[in-house]
Amino acid sequence: MATDPALLTALVERVHALYGAQLSDVERKCWTVVHEHLHGAMPTEYDVREIDEDLYLALLEAVRS
């Protein structure tokens, strides 16, 4: 499934706005941003709602590049 480039750009910007340029624990940071996008709030400690894995993987790749 193709990810909307504008959405991906916005999510990459959100990752950087929240966490800066540090890429430590980038998997968790991308997961929280996708969660926020889909559910309207950052996850709580025990939040187990699903996220769009394709979107998460596309964001992870974009942030790492």
Q: Which residue has the higher pLDDT, 31 or 3?
A: 31
Confidence check: pLDDT of 60 > 70 = yes
Identify the pLDDT of residue 3: 82
Would the pTM of this model clear 0.85, i.e. be above it? Answer: yes
Q: Is the pLDDT of residue 1 over 70?
A: no
- How many whole angstroms separate alpha carbon 7 and alpha carbon 39? 15
pLDDT digits (tens, 9 = 90+) for 9-55: 999 999 999 988 777 899 999 999 999 999 999 998 888 889 999 99
